[in-house]
């Protein structure tokens, strides 16, 4: 199973996440201090049958990763999600 982890800023220094499978919400939380913390919390709650995650930040999907890759490359995945969302936002504002 491949789930989607959607991370959103709630306030200036607070983040929320929601884990979904085929658009059905599985679980969620908020009040986390960083995007990285939100991603870790989301991954920690995954069931054993999850083999991959699709990561989205600010409504922009940045990639799909095998679960073991997320654990080994957390900082890079977070940076990629933030950079991808910023680039899409910038492109939208030009249009």
Using CA atoms, how far apart are residues 93 and 53, in angstroms rounded to an integer? 29
Q: Which of 51, 48, 43 is nearest to 74 (CA)?
A: 43
Q: For 48-93, how does the pLDDT look when each residue is reduced to its tens digit (9 = 90+)?
A: 999 999 999 999 999 999 999 998 999 999 999 999 999 999 998 8
pTM score above 0.95: no
Q: For residue 24, what are the domain limits?
A: 2-94
Q: How many distinct structural domains can be found in the chain?
A: 1
Using CA atoms, how far apart are residues 40 and 53, in angstroms rounded to an integer? 12
Is residue 11 very low, low, confident or very high in pLDDT (cuts 50, 70, 90)?
A: confident
């Amino acid at each position: 199973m491949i789930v989607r982890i959607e991370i959103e800023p709630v306030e200036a220094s607070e983040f929320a996440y929601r884990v979904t499978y085929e658009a059905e919400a599985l679980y969620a939380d908020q009040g986390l201090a960083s995007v990285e913390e939100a991603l870790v919390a989301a991954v920690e709650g995954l069931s054993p049958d999850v083999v991959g995650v699709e990561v989205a930040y600010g409504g922009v999907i940045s990639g799909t990763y095998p679960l073991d890759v997320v654990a080994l490359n957390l900082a890079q995945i977070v940076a990629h999600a933030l950079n991808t969302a910023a680039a899409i936002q910038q492109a939208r504002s030009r249009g």
